[in-house]
């Protein structure tokens, strides 16, 4: 599963285009709560059409993989109220 950082916006956007039914977890450091979204969630994009990549992005085709990754990091996770 790919993970994208702030300097990898092009790669992240490419992954989202190739995985329209995929899921993205924004990995937070404070608090340690990862937010899981559908890859097409409107909250993952800024108004100028670029990605919000100030969070690390953990990406997968199954949200359960992302929730397991969060637990392995010692984080909690939450499903987005808007898209899930």
Q: Which residues make beta-bridge pairs with 3?
A: 58
DSSP letter at 61 equals S
Give every CB contact of residue 47 below 8 A, 6+ residues apart in sequence: none
Q: What is the pLDDT of residue 74?
A: 93
CA dihedral 59→64→67→69, nearest 10 degrees, is -60
- What is the pTM for the complete model shown? 0.90
Q: What is the pLDDT of residue 63?
A: 97
Q: Which residues make beta-bridge pairs with 56?
A: 27
Q: What is the pLDDT of residue 58?
A: 96
- pLDDT tens for the chain, 84 residues: list them: 799 998 888 899 899 999 999 999 999 887 889 999 999 998 887 766 666 667 899 999 999 999 999 999 999 999 999 999
How many C-alpha atoms does 41 have within 13 Å on its Cβ side? Answer: 19
Contact 25, 58 (CB under 8 A): yes
Q: What is the pLDDT of residue 55?
A: 83
Q: What is the pLDDT of residue 28?
A: 86
């Amino acid at each position: 599963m790919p993970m994208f950082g702030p300097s990898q916006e092009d790669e992240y956007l490419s992954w989202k285009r190739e995985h329209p039914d995929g899921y993205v977890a924004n990995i937070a450091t404070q608090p340690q709560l990862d937010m899981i979204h559908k890859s097409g969630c409107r909250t993952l994009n800024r108004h100028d059409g670029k990605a919000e990549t100030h969070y690390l992005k953990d990406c997968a085709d199954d949200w359960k993989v992302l929730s397991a990754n969060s637990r392995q990091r010692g984080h909690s996770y939450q499903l987005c109220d808007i898209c899930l």
